[in-house]
């Protein structure tokens, strides 16, 4: 148990580095790509990288007070969890699974709804649990929303893919009826 506590004491302050906050939403791009191309090993490695990215960067010399307050709130939730914490944590795999499913079944519209809805929910949850300090998540997560949406729309336009709420379950085959 000391090893885990020591690791947490080392890793948690690194999460105060703003790069940690900005990089995490960007992982949705390769996750979407690897689901679309159906490459499970690359997908698993990307998810592992996303989950570990909070401690990649050095501890900042001076932390943003709002970011520090948000992380203090999150640390409190993890060290003294309530049923709300457990319910909130359960939403993370639901979001990730939904994201993977929408792109696996090639529904760009639903993929954008899941990404943007999930990131908006994270911003809302953080503000609800840490007050005005939670607005510190607005720029990093909002930037992730804009970048993800722009990338998906750009790829869809260039490849002639519909931004619909339906997807082809069995690959790229055309499911329209044949008319003669």
pLDDT in tens, 169-178: 444 554 555 4
- pLDDT at position 168 is 54
Dihedrals phi, psi of 163, to nearest 5 degrees: -95, 55
- pLDDT at position 170 is 45
Q: Which single residue is written with the structure tokens 């939670």?
A: 134
As a whole number of angstroms, the distance between CA 159 and CA 155 comes to 6
Q: pLDDT for 87-110, tens place per residue?
A: 778 888 999 999 999 999 999 999
Q: DSSP code of 175? A: -
Q: What is the pTM of this model?
A: 0.82
Region 157-178: what's the mean pLDDT?
Answer: 66
As a whole number of angstroms, the distance between CA 75 and CA 73 comes to 5
Number of neighbours of residue 37 by Cβ within 10 angstroms: 11
């Amino acid at each position: 148990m000391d090893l885990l506590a020591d690791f947490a004491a080392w890793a948690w302050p690194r999460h105060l580095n703003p790069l940690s906050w900005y990089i995490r939403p960007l992982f949705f791009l390769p996750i979407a790509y690897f689901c679309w191309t159906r490459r499970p090993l690359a997908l698993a490695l990307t998810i592992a990288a996303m989950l570990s990215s909070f401690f990649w960067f050095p501890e900042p010399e001076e932390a943003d007070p709002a970011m520090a307050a948000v992380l203090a709130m999150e640390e409190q939730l993890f060290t003294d969890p309530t049923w709300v914490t457990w319910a909130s944590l359960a939403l993370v795999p639901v979001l990730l699974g939904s994201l993977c499913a929408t792109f696996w079944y090639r529904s760009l519209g639903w993929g954008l709804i899941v990404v943007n809805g999930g990131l908006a929910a994270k911003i809302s949850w953080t503000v609800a649990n840490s007050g005005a300090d939670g607005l510190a998540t607005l720029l990093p997560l909002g930037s992730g929303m804009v970048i993800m949406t722009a990338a998906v729309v750009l790829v869809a336009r260039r490849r002639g893919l519909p931004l619909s709420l339906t997807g082809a379950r069995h690959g790229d085959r055309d499911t329209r009826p044949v008319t003669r």
